[in-house]
Amino acid sequence: MGTRRKARELAMKALFCMDMLKNESDELMERLDARLKPPQDIHAFYVSLIKGVVHNKPRIDQTIETFSSNWKISRMGYVDRNILRIAAYELLFCPDIPPKVAINEAVDIGKLYGTEDSGAFINGILDGIYRKNTAGMLKINPPD
């Protein structure tokens, strides 16, 4: 498994817990960091994914809902929505990450941790975001 894949999986687990507990505090993030023990070589990427999603969550969630065919983000499973949040963050705010990589990683993680339908569900939403973003139709500002 690649180092970035491991960082994405651990970030999904941390965001899953934060989502379930409805707590995005730095204190909880530190506790999860101690519990999940991300290796040093992925720690910076892992933290950047979590902080990027938390900081931009309203815009990310709105974008996901736009492409989710009548699915409110609150109705999605915790696993699927947090995988989508990470990948959408990468698509919208991380120009150094190839979009196809972000999508493929999300689909693979969805197949591993989600339901049997998660891969197709995640792929459909992210493909829509990617196509609109590539066409310049999504107006997203870079993170602060």
Do the domain assignments include residue 144? no
What is the tens place of the pLDDT at every residue in 12-64?
Answer: 999 999 999 999 999 999 999 999 999 999 999 999 999 999 999 999 999 99
Do the domain assignments include residue 140? no
Amino acid at residue number 95 = P
What is residue 143's predicted lDDT score, i.e. its pLDDT? 46
How many domains does the structure of the chain reveal? 1
Do the domain assignments include residue 117? yes
Do the domain assignments include residue 81? yes
Do the domain assignments include residue 11? yes
Residue 138 pLDDT exceeds 70: no
Do the domain assignments include residue 38? yes
Neighbours of 37 (CB within 10 A): 10
| CB contact at 8 A, 64 and 126 | no
Amino acid at residue number 144 = D
What is the tens place of the pLDDT at every residue in 76-134?
Answer: 999 999 999 999 999 999 999 999 999 999 999 999 999 999 999 999 999 999 988 77
Do the domain assignments include residue 23? yes
Provide the domain limits for residue 103: 3-134
Assign residue 88 the CATH number of its domain: 1.10.940.10
Do the domain assignments include residue 36? yes
Q: Which residues contact 137 (CB under 8 A, 6 or more apart)?
A: none
